[in-house]
């Protein structure tokens, strides 16, 4: 059976004559064994072939019967059947998570399985994107803080690339290896489209730890990051102007946009002497852009005031706090327990 959503067809034939299977609102759909048999009768082999991904039909049907049906309202099910749109019902987030768990636990994929465009039906793409989003949000990432919308954008890009370039399941398994083809041709370009990650091609402009550039009455300071849809923002003040930057240690520099640049010019925080030159940046999609590099004083973060801070000014995609600003301190660390940054400026006396 080649169509994944044939897995759901059994609902059409079992709603009316099973005996003691109940929906979420306690509506009796009938006998569980009849429902289970009806599900399995829809497949002519012991394993369900989803374009090369094999799922044990008995285990799958049992899992769906035990976990999914009790979570669906009878009104939802009747309306879906009436509108011939069971697919949308099963792709709802909570339902999908249960379906995916049933497939994941009982499937087998060969290493040489090839993802190709002729297998990428619209529902297959949606299934793949949702699966990818679940994994991105489930697994911790030291370099990025993912919101659900970030994950959806990344996963849509990754699934399209996966199928359009004919990668194998083995390639996909190696995607975490920075030397692999999948990492360099799928992961990084798609991450770049989400975070607009900038990598400088020049090194003459950078921040570094200079004790004289740091003022403050304490040796260390802890600043709580602001929760922002599964990501974090950090409060930074420059010459009295407060802004909230997306915090991303996977980015290289402290970046602002043209609007904030104009604010700093208006209040006199920067002038023509603040401009150090230009630097080229390469986006993750290999697009090259140019940024103005400026140096600012009186930048407040936590309990410290920093001077001689190098900042990149770009047309779009600014307001990003990358690792460069953190390099102004002697040391720093991320406290995962309370989502905060701890800056160490000087040795304790």
**Would you place residue 164 in the very low, low, confident or very high pLDDT band (cuts 50, 70, 90)?**
confident
Strands 214-215 and 288-296: unpaired
Separation between Cα atoms, residue 154 and residue 172, nearest integer Å? 15
* Residue 194 confidence (pLDDT): 73
- pLDDT tens track for 320-337: 898 889 889 988 888 878
* Structure-token pair, residue 92: 């709802």
Paired residues of 292 in beta bridges: 278, 313
Mean pLDDT of 177-190: 76
* Structure-token pair, residue 213: 């550039």
Mean pLDDT of 209-213: 90
More confident residue, 1 or 318: 318
* Residue 260 confidence (pLDDT): 94
* Residue 170 confidence (pLDDT): 80
Quick one: how far is CA 237 from the chain centroid?
Answer: 28
Separation between Cα atoms, residue 93 and residue 114, nearest integer Å? 27
Query: In the chain, what is the straight-line distance between the N-terminal and C-terminal CA atoms, in Å?
Result: 72
Indicate yes or no: pTM above 0.75. Answer: no
Q: Would you say residue 202 has pLDDT above 70? A: no
* Residue 5 confidence (pLDDT): 32
More confident residue, 286 or 236: 236
Report the topology of domain 211-344.
Cathepsin D, subunit A; domain 1 (2.40.70)
* Residue 8 confidence (pLDDT): 34
Q: Would you say residue 310 has pLDDT above 70? A: yes
* Residue 138 confidence (pLDDT): 75
Q: 13 phi and psi, to 5 degrees?
A: -100, 0
Q: Would you say residue 58 has pLDDT above 90? A: no
Domain boundaries, the chain: 4-109, 117-195, 211-344
* Residue 118 confidence (pLDDT): 60
């Amino acid at each position: 059976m080649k169509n994944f959503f044939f897995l759901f067809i059994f609902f059409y034939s079992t709603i009316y004559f099973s005996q003691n299977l109940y929906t979420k609102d306690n509506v009796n759909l009938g006998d569980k064994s009849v429902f289970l048999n009806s599900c399995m009768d829809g497949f002519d082999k012991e394993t369900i072939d989803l374009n090369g991904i094999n799922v044990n039909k008995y285990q799958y049907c049992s899992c769906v019967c035990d976990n999914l049906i009790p979570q669906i309202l009878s009104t939802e099910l009747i309306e879906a059947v009436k509108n011939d749109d069971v697919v949308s019902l099963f792709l709802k987030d909570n339902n999908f998570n249960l379906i995916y768990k049933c497939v994941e636990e009982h499937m087998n994929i060969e290493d040489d399985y090839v993802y190709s465009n002729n297998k990428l039906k619209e529902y297959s793409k949606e299934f793949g994107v949702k699966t990818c989003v679940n994994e991105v949000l489930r697994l911790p990432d030291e370099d990025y803080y993912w919101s659900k919308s970030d994950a959806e954008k990344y996963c849509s890009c990754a699934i399209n690339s996966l199928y359009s370039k004919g990668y194998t399941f083995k390639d996909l398994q190696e995607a975490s290896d920075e030397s692999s083809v999948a990492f360099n041709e799928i992961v990084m370009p798609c991450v770049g489209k989400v975070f607009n990650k900038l990598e400088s091609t020049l090194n003459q402009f950078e921040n570094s730890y200079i004790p004289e550039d740091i003022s403050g009455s304490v040796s260390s300071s802890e600043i709580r990051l602001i929760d922002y849809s599964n990501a974090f923002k950090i409060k930074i003040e420059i010459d009295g102007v407060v802004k909230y930057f997306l915090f991303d240690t996977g980015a290289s520099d402290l970046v602002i946009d043209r609007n904030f640049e104009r604010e700093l010019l208006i209040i006199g925080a920067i002038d023509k002497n603040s401009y150090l030159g230009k630097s080229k940046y390469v986006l993750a999609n290999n697009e090259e852009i140019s940024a103005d590099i400026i140096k600012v004083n009186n930048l407040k973060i936590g309990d410290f005031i920093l001077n001689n801070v190098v900042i990149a000014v770009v047309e779009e995609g600014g307001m990003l706090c990358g690792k460069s600003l953190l390099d102004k301190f002697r040391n720093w660390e991320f406290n995962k327990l309370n989502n905060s940054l701890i800056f160490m400026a000087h040795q304790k006396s």
